[in-house]
Amino acid sequence: MKNIKQLPLPVLNADIEKIKFIYINGRNSLFQQRYAYSPDWKSFDLISNYNVSPILQKLPSIYNWFKLLKEHTGVKTIKTSYISVLDVKSSIDWHTDSINNDFNKSIITAISTKNSFIEFDDKKYYYKNGLSYIIRSGNKHRVLNLNDDIRITLCTTTGEDNNDHMVA
């Protein structure tokens, strides 16, 4: 069974250096630990329950990408979106995020994922920067960042009931 699907969405050419700057300077105030079992995994909400953070305006590449999604795909609204950072040479241990085998509704877009991968029981998957994916998050998986730099992804959940309209 395939655990990841690449979505035919516009490529995101994010300003990696600006995101790194925000992370380094806001690591202790803006970014929150995602889960207690993974202290090296932090995130910052750009959109939470349809409410947009003022920081999003400081990231025009992501702001404009959201506009592209709404103009050229089946995405009508964005319910949540956060920048996810996994520290240098660290991991998110084996876990599941849901209780079913379906593809998760959240879209993961790779921003800076060199020398990192997500691993399921069947194999390792390497994201390509700028591309978007959905995963079967109910299947046991882990994430490893073997890089000397932070791993950055954008996790976005649309307001639609599912992502069927985006899956090729």
Residue 98: predicted pLDDT: 85
CATH class for the domain made up of 4-163: mainly beta
Residue 28: predicted pLDDT: 78
H helical segments located in the chain: 16-26, 60-72
Torsion of CA 50, 56, 60, 64, to 10 degrees: -10
Residue 164: predicted pLDDT: 54
CA angle, residues 71, 74, 76, in degrees to nearest 5: 70
Q: For residue 6, which phi and psi values (nearest 5 degrees)?
A: -80, 135
| 10-residue mean pLDDT series, the chain (168 residues) | 91 96 86 82 95 94 95 91 96 89 92 96 94 94 96 94 54
Each domain of the chain, given as residue ranges in start order, spans 4-163
Residue 160: predicted pLDDT: 80
